[in-house]
Structure 1
Amino acid sequence: MTALSAERVRGQIDALAVAGLDWETFGHTAMDTLRRAMPFAASCFASVDPSTHIVTANVKSGCLDDDHDIAWSFHEYEVEDVYDFRTLSSGAHGPVTLHGRTDGDPRRSRRYEELFGPVWDFSDELRATLRVDGVVWGGVALFHGDGRTFTAAEQAFVGSISEGLARGLRSGLVAAVVGDDGRPQLSGPAVLVVDAAGEVAQANLSAAERLADLGCADLGAAQLPQIVKALVAAGRRMSTMPGAATPRARLRTASGRWVVAHASPLVSRHGGAPDVVVTIDDARPPEIIPLVVASYGLTGRERDVVAQVLQGVDTADIAKSLHLSAYTVQDHLKKVFTKVGVRSRRELIARVFNDHYLPQMENGAGLAPSGWFAAS
């Protein structure tokens, strides 16, 4: 890796981050670009829910496939290992490598011994969380084979581009605006029971259409979307940790609908791994509006202003409520318009309303006095 190629690739990734790509296209393109600066055998670029750090979806390259996502989720969420995305996301960790974390003996990692080694013959992994403005939006994992290991320079380089990758992922979550004509009408929440073997033991009538909107062709274990596999594994871990929070995550489907999914383990009379109930339903505005607004990279004060604009509050009242001058409020709004890519309050409201708010109306939700939808 030369200094020239590294600087050029860093600039290209920063440019891609503001190119308006959806997050999956950005992920594929960014990984192809990164390979020009440093070689690797395979990669996985993943989105997470910023609140829970659970992986919601991913794009892969090289020999990685979807057939082993259940095994990956098991090693990531159910059992302890020398490192995982949860621990990396919880602190100010830079990129880490398998060889670095195991002092050169990857056999100390159960994930390596049972998955990375025997399935793909990887010799090293480099992981980095994708964090911007203090929020983790995803993670990236790169892999070497043929006995190669990642160098300290490569580790540092990935750290130097991680914020650019995070910015592209963050903006990509809201990049694609889906029209109403392309959004399927769904009959209700999905409820499915996943057994110890990872198979769907039971499912309600809405499950198939909900999962189809997440790219699932059928209810076979291998076909289940990554978010379901991750939540099932996290749910099983929860069963061994009394008082642990319910695993949950928000994500956007292929049709543009925002959904919230969560998992809960069932009590088993026979011991062993419990069955896990997974539910998927439309996310309510209080759950998605903070995520959508944060995706535009707004500051805390800008988010405060936008929250009141979305409720129809005029500039004078916003200024009074936030103890600001009207001029300062207008200045915040100008910056918001630039970041969101609109020119007026009306366009700002339309951008959030049409793309993220309108689906709730289609489901017949009623409005509360605040302007948000009332809880049912």
Structure 2
Amino acid sequence: MAGWDADRLTREVERLALRGLPRDQLHAELAARIRRAVRVDAACWHGLDPRTLLMTTADPVELLGKGYLAPEDEPAAARAVLASEYDRDDFNGFAVLARRRAPVGLLSESTRGRPERSARFREYLAPHDLPYELRVAFVSRGRAWGCVVLHRSDGPDFSTQEVRTLARQSRPIAEALRASLRVDAALRDDHGHAPGMVLLGRRNEIQLVTPPAEALLDRLGGQSPATLEPVPLPVLTVAAMARRNSRSDAPGPVPSLQVPTGGGWLSLHAAVPRGADHGNVAVVIQPAGAGASVGLELEAYGLTGREREVAWLGVTGVSTATIAEQLSLSPWTVQDHLKAAFEKTGTHSRRELRSKVFYEEYLPAIGSHAPLDAGGSLIPRVSSRTPPT
């Protein structure tokens, strides 16, 4: 089978992005194309929250299918990967790669030929016969939408040319993942769901779960392998960050994630309760509010931050002159941003854009005959005073 060069691989990935495939199918199709250019023994895919660069999904199907991981070994392997990302400094963390000009990291190169310097190598890669590791973050317009870990069980290691080839795929694969999110998060049945809370012990065992959280945990379970249940990967991610913050002399903001699921976007927030046992973490899970989910939807279409601000105001009835005044822009710049928003979403007017993006917030409520609120509107209500960020 003839190998593809970097240009051919990029063209094939760009064609694939146009299909808007569901996440798991997209991963399989991408892996097949990458293998036409680079030898890969197993690939493990991860989703990233573009705002926080925290992991939202894991897809180790190849590691399991090819026998590098047994189902009973996967929870320990997942803990090792999470620890290398959030509990300690290690080489080629996903967030670090996402900020590099070339968002790739070859473990042997980063460790100067001594991969055993990496705790992840000692605890996970070497014991599972995966000594050669190449990581790629997928970044478009400065936003990271996912990453992949490519493994080889025997030499030679990934070459400099192969690393460059995969670095060139960062943008087109990011755009393919972004399109996939529009499929995964297209359904919305969040109306009327109350927030839920999960209390995790120091070993991530569930000590307490409220009834509303049970259904939301089931939805999040689709974001990670079944062997990690009953605690899905996004919950483990925010819990790990909360523990790290609690140990810091200058704690950061409360860790939060916006996670796409087949039933809409979910928001996760984590904190270490005061007076709780060491290592306990409380995680609140709730449907993302209309403002948050619409903002994420617009970003998934590729709109820049300014384009999202203008589009939000435009489709909620604010005039061009008022938008220009509020955002300190000229009216012509506002029109340029609206035109870009129309092109990226495949619409031609404010009305079409409102129908395409905002109507998805209301369709499930209409179909379920949800009652109107005191103002005569379906819930959730879109407020022009809360622009997406």
- Give the letter for the 1:149 counterpart: D
1:35 aligns with 2:35: yes
For 1:212, the equivalent position in structure 2 comes to 218
Residue aligning to 2:160: 152
**Aligned partner letter, 1:34:** I
1:245 pairs with 2:253? yes
Post-superposition shift, 1:188? 1.3
Q: Does the 8 A contact of 1:23 with 1:170 survive in 2?
A: no
Distance change in 2, residues 1:33/1:368 (3 Å): closer
Q: Helix, strand or coil: the match of 2:162? A: helix
Q: Which moved more, 1:338-347 or 1:310-319?
A: 310-319
Picking from 324, 348, 359, the partner of 1:354 is 359
Q: Does 1:135 align with 2:143?
A: yes
2:312·2:384 contact (CA, 8 Å) conserved in 1? no
Distance in 1 separating the partners of 2:162 and 2:275: 47
Question: How big is the shift at 1:75?
Answer: 2.4
Shift in Å, 1:357: 6.2
Give 1:203 shift: 0.7
Aligned to 2:180: 172
Distance in structure 1 (CA, Å) of the matches to 2:206 and 2:240: 14
Q: 1:90 to 1:349 in 2, by over 3 A?
A: same
Please give the alpha-carbon distance, in whole angstroms, between the structure 2 residues aligned to 1:208 and 1:33: 38
Between 1:184-193 and 1:122-131, the stretch displaced more is 184-193
Does the residue aligned with 1:82 lie in a helix, a strand or coil?
coil
Gaps of 5+ in 2: 374-378
Aligned residue in 2 for 1:51? 51
Structure 1 residues 112 and 366: alpha-carbon distance in aligned structure 2, compared to 1, 3 A threshold: closer
Distance 1:290 1:303, change over 3 A: same
User: Is 1:303 matched up with 2:291?
Assistant: no
How far does residue 158 in structure 1 lie from its aligned partner after superposition?
A: 0.7
Q: Give yes or no for contact 1:130–1:163 (8 Å, CA) kept in 2.
A: yes
Match of 1:254 among 258, 262, 268: 262
Q: Which residue of 1 aligns with 2:297?
A: 292
How far apart are the structure 2 equivalents of 1:268 and 1:41? 47
Distance 1:292 1:187, change over 3 A: closer
Aligned to 1:276: 281
Q: Which amino acid aligns with 2:211?
A: L
My pick for the range that moved more, 170-179 or 313-322, is: 313-322
Give the secondary-structure state (helix, strand or coil) at the position aligned to 1:292: helix
Relative to the length of structure 1, the TM-score reads 0.85
Where does residue 116 of structure 1 map in the other structure?
A: 125
TM-aligned CA deviation for residue 50 of structure 1? 1.4
Identity level (%): 30
CA 1:8/1:89 → structure 2, altered by over 3 Å: closer, same or farther? closer
Contact 1:215–1:254 (CA<8 Å) still a contact in 2? no
Q: Is the 8 A contact 1:45 1:59 kept in 2?
A: yes
Contact 1:311-1:371 within 8 A present in 2 as well: no
RMSD between aligned residues: 3.2
Cα–Cα, structure 1 residues 208 and 37, in superposed 2: closer, same or farther, change >3 Å? Answer: same
Q: CA deviation at 1:39?
A: 1.3
- Cα distance in structure 2, aligned partners of 1:135 and 1:33: 23
Say which of 73, 79, 83 aligns to 2:92.
Answer: 83
Report the 3-state secondary structure (helix = DSSP H, G, I; strand = E; otherwise coil) of the residue aligned with 1:213. Answer: helix
Match in the other structure for 2:242:
235
1:47 Cα deviation after fit: 1.6
Question: What SS does the corresponding residue of 1:278 show, helix, strand or coil?
Answer: strand
Q: Which amino acid aligns with 1:344?
A: S
Q: Does 1:103 align with 2:148?
A: no
The answer for the alignment partner of 2:20 in structure 1 is 20
Aligned pair in 2 of structure 1 residues 80, 369: CA closer, same or farther (>3 Å)? closer
Secondary structure of 1:206's partner? helix
Deviates more, 1:59-68 or 1:187-196: 59-68
Q: What's the CA shift string for 1:221-277, capped at 9, x where partnerless?
A: 64422111212222221221132222211011122x111102112356765xx1111
Which structure 2 residues correspond to residues 316-327 of structure 1 after superposition, within 5 A? Answer: 317-318=322-323, 323-325=329-331
Aligned partner of 2:384 in structure 1 is 370
| DSSP-derived class of the 2:211 partner | coil
Once the 2 structures are TM-superposed, how far is the Cα of residue 369 of structure 1 from its aligned partner? 6.6
Preserved contact between residue 186 and residue 206 of structure 1 (Cα < 8 Å):
no
Report the count of equivalent residues.
366
C-alpha distance in structure 1 between counterparts of 2:235 and 2:107, whole Å: 26
Contact 1:208 1:219 survives alignment (8 Å): no
CA contact (8 A) 1:193 1:277 kept: yes
Q: What letter matches 1:87 in structure 2?
A: V
The Cα shift of 1:358 comes to 6.1
- Decide whether aligned partners of structure 1 residues 323 and 296 sit closer, same or farther in structure 2, where only a CA change above 3 A counts: same
